[in-house]
Amino acid sequence: MKSKQNTILIVDDEPVNLSLLMSYLEDQYYMQVAKDGEEALIEINNLRPDIILMDVMMPKLNGFETCRRLKANLETSDIPVIFMTSLNNTEDKVKAFEVGAIDYITKPIQNKEALARINAHLTVRNLQKILKQQSAALEQKNRELQEQNLELGAYAQIVVSDLKKPLVRQAGFANVLIKELANLPNQEPLGFLQEIEESRQKMVDVVDDMVLLANVRTKEVVMEAPDMVTVIAQARHQVSSLVKKSHGKIIVPATWPIVWGYSPWLEKVWEIYISHALEYGGTEPKVELGATPVENDYISFWVRDYGTGFTSEQKNELFVPLSQVGQVNTIEKSYALKLAIVQLLIKKCGGQVGVETFIGRGSTFYFTLPTIG
């Protein structure tokens, strides 16, 4: 015998019909009865049946009006209704569906047909319940994840603030010591101190990346039309010490196309691309910046160097998701992390990233942004 899991409410004022249906269905379903529409509405509010079998022609409140009221109530609108009636003209069938019924059985009722229709609609009903429960669980999980992201973002801000204060103090002390040691005959201590300062700067970069990642994941920004001349000038200022150290040369166009983007993020992208071109572009690197229209109303912005380039294995690890940065082994993980950040920022701006590279001929790193049109 099938385990009873669903409840059926039969609404009919004819005792013979009730008796026949109940005797056929009661072994498989929990059964409840109402003799007219008014009684049915009371039973439905108390019982919440899984499906309703309803006669059309009844005293006090007919089946059409009962169904209409049932569907108008948000708490009961999702309960499926199957009409049972001797009316078999097209107009009545259309009206049944107009008031919200899912099916229509013509009297005299064939028990096997009724059971097949009930089982089919209950299967759909049960699946809808499962999907609703799963959807609610997913929504709750999303809310929890959003709260966790906000908490992590707030925590990252606190950590960054606490880390940056001593790093800034270290920078001040280091600069004082570098000036003091610059005139000493023995320059070895000065070299050690400069290496300490470089390590400190790398720590600052890591902290800044933490803040940036936290903001990208939690902060909503409005896209704008960035002043690319100003954005690139600020990025070049950030890498000025590297330009001086490498004796590099940066070639920049006088004008830039207008696109959609977010200036602080684009400044970071240019900074990463340019610094890597200076670092990997060979002796006294020459770095070129430019922009080229591409299909579908996008502009490709690029940074080209003339260094050693990358192998195919290295190229495959240049733009990996953040979750896979720890798995790279052909390039430095810090390099992969920076490029993963670039990829995330540009994706948030509606663009894509990529690289063209050839061994011995250098590399061109690019990102695309939509034009304003």
For residues 81 and 69, give the distance between their C-alpha atoms in angstroms, rounded to a whole number: 12
- Taking alpha carbons only, the member of 199, 193, 200, 196 closest to residue 179 is 193
Instruction: Kindly report, residue by residue over 298-346, the tens digit of the pLDDT.
Output: 999 999 999 999 999 999 999 988 888 888 888 888 888 889 999 999 9
Mean pLDDT of 95-105: 90
Write down the domain spans for the chain: 7-109, 222-373
Instruction: Kindly report, residue by residue over 269-285, the tens digit of the pLDDT.
Output: 999 999 999 998 888 99
- pLDDT given for residue 1 in this prediction: 44
CB 10 within 8 A of CB 33: yes
Residues 6+ apart with CB under 8 A from 38: 60, 61
Looking at domain 7-109, its CATH superfamily turns out to be Response regulator (3.40.50.2300)
For residues 37 and 231, give the distance between their C-alpha atoms in angstroms, rounded to a whole number: 71
Residue 208 banded pLDDT, cuts 50, 70, 90? confident
- 20 by Cβ neighbours in 10 Å (0-12 / 13-18 / 19+) ranks as middle
Assess whether pLDDT exceeds 70 at residue 225: yes
- Taking alpha carbons only, the member of 337, 30, 44, 362 closest to residue 202 is 337
Q: What is the 3-state secondary structure (H, E, C) of 47-77?
A: HCCCEEEEECCCCCCCHHHHHHHHHHCCCCC
Sign (positive/negative) of CA torsion 309, 313, 319, 324?
negative
For residues 134 and 84, give the distance between their C-alpha atoms in angstroms, rounded to a whole number: 33
User: How many CB atoms within 10 Å of residue 369?
Assistant: 26
Mean pLDDT of 160-184: 69
- pLDDT given for residue 129 in this prediction: 85
Tell me the pTM. 0.57
Instruction: Kindly report, residue by residue over 6-65, the tens digit of the pLDDT.
Output: 899 999 888 777 777 788 888 888 888 998 999 999 989 888 899 999 999 888 899 999
| CATH number given to 222-373 | 3.30.565.10
Q: In what order do the strands lie in the sheet with 286-294?
A: 249-251, 286-294, 298-305, 362-370, 353-358
Residue 252 banded pLDDT, cuts 50, 70, 90? very high
Residues in the chain, how many? 373
For residues 272 and 334, give the distance between their C-alpha atoms in angstroms, rounded to a whole number: 11
- Taking alpha carbons only, the member of 273, 277, 293 closest to residue 285 is 277
Question: Over the chain, what is the mean pLDDT?
Answer: 86
For residues 44 and 51, give the distance between their C-alpha atoms in angstroms, rounded to a whole number: 10
